[in-house]
Amino acid sequence: MNTHTLQPYPDTYILLLIVSMKKVIIPEDIYRTLKKEQSFLNRSHIRTFTVTSNKEALAIHRTEKADLIIAKLDTPEMSGESLCSLLRNDSELCNVSIIIVSPDVESNLDRCLQCRANAFISIPINKAVFLQEVHQLLNIAPRKSCRIPMSIKIRGTSKKLSFTGYAENISTSGLLLQSDASLSEGDTVMCSFSLPDSKHITVTAEIVRVLEKQIPYKTNCYGIHFIDIRNNLSSAIESFVEKECQHTL
């Protein structure tokens, strides 16, 4: 009996890709900030449209019907409140998630509450928090991470200290660090470590989360987010993670 492997037609694959593609409208300056991140913006099924104003975002959404609009509270010609009102009151445009971005000042809080947006992010933007909101609103799973212990040497650039720790849950965006060192949220550190069968990696990172100790004598635990990681280093981490995750299946 002859067996045949069915191959998808190229046109069918392209059609499926188009149907499943997510569309994101994002301010140009925020896009530039995140462009170097190995994040959702780099995925093949994400199409981004950069804009310089809320008015431009509205015009693009009328044509493209985006899945997510990231808008600023204040732009020339159209405020965040006006944009949200127009979107939410239009039956053809309302099916979209909205993130409002604004400076973290008290006078903006009441204005943000008037917007019927899905989330609010303060400026300066915490990249880890921002990307988490985007993942949730687009219902996109973050890139795979693998729980793998490894020895990691960290140099604290803000405290001028050298210390060691152990990392787990490494991914292209960051890792979870366990160390006796005392660090604070917002600290910048230099991570230096080697992956098995891979190159030595040195990358600047930020402490984005400090986890409370469950047991007093346990080591401190920190969420670390890589900053401006080079593409070749990110690719090395991603290859390692995918390989290790396959071994755990």
For residue 36, what pLDDT band results from cuts at 50, 70 and 90?
low
Q: Judge if 85 and 168 occupy the same domain.
A: no
Q: What average pLDDT is seen over the chain?
A: 76
The fraction of the chain above a pLDDT of 70, given in percent, is 71
**pLDDT at 147 > cutoff 60:** no
3-state secondary structure 197-238: CCCEEEEEEEEEEEECCCCCCCCEEEEEEECCCCHHHHHHHH
Task: DSSP for 3-37, please give it.
Answer: -------HHHHHHHHHHH-EEEEEEHHHHHHHHTS
Q: Judge if 17 and 134 occupy the same domain.
A: yes
- What pLDDT is recorded for position 93? 94
Q: Which CATH number covers residue 14?
A: 3.40.50.2300
Q: Judge if 59 and 28 occupy the same domain.
A: yes
Q: Is the whole model's pTM more than 0.85, yes or no?
A: no
For residue 166, tell me if it sits in a domain.
Answer: yes
- What pLDDT is recorded for position 155? 57
Q: Which CATH number covers residue 183?
A: 2.40.10.220
Domain extent at residue 100 = 10-138
Quote the number of domains for the chain.
Answer: 2
Q: Judge if 27 and 79 occupy the same domain.
A: yes
| b/e 78-110 (16+ beta carbons within 10 angstroms → b) | bbbbebbebbeeeeebeebbbbbbbeeeeebee
For residue 144, tell me if it sits in a domain.
Answer: no
- What pLDDT is recorded for position 72? 94
Q: Judge if 35 and 91 occupy the same domain.
A: yes
